[in-house]
Amino acid sequence: MVREQSFSGQEDENPYTHLQEFEQLCSCLNISDMTQETIKWKLFPFSLLGRVKQWYAHTVGGVNGNWDELRDKFYLAFFPLSRIAALRIEIHTFQQKEKETLGAA
């Protein structure tokens, strides 16, 4: 199930959506004597493809088993601040054209 929703870091993929769905999937699993965080650590590499899997291999040692830190680094690596800034500018400069319905705008 994890591999079916893999993330390869393409421009049209959203890391926030990927991790939300991944964590939701992990929350459905219950393995005795294993915490939810351990389940995430064990399965996360299987949800990655190509250069993202290489990024994971390079990054995992630097987070010392801290899932929240890995998650934050994942977000920044695949949804950089420049992309966030561009989206903010797009929102702030939004204008509805004359005779254009709000829905169409």
**Domain membership flag for residue 17:** yes
What is the pTM (predicted TM-score) of this model?
A: 0.75
**Domain membership flag for residue 56:** yes
Count of domains forming the chain: 1
**Domain membership flag for residue 82:** yes
The three-state DSSP-derived secondary structure of 4-61 is HHCECCCCCCCHHHHHHHHHHHHHCCCCCCCCHHHHHHHHHHHHECHHHHHHHHHHHH
**Domain membership flag for residue 35:** yes
Which of 28-32, 56-60, 64-68, 81-85 has the lowest average pLDDT? 81-85
Question: What average pLDDT does the structure give for the chain?
Answer: 90
pLDDT score, position 21: 95
Q: Is pLDDT at 61 greater than 90 in this prediction?
A: yes
**Domain membership flag for residue 29:** yes
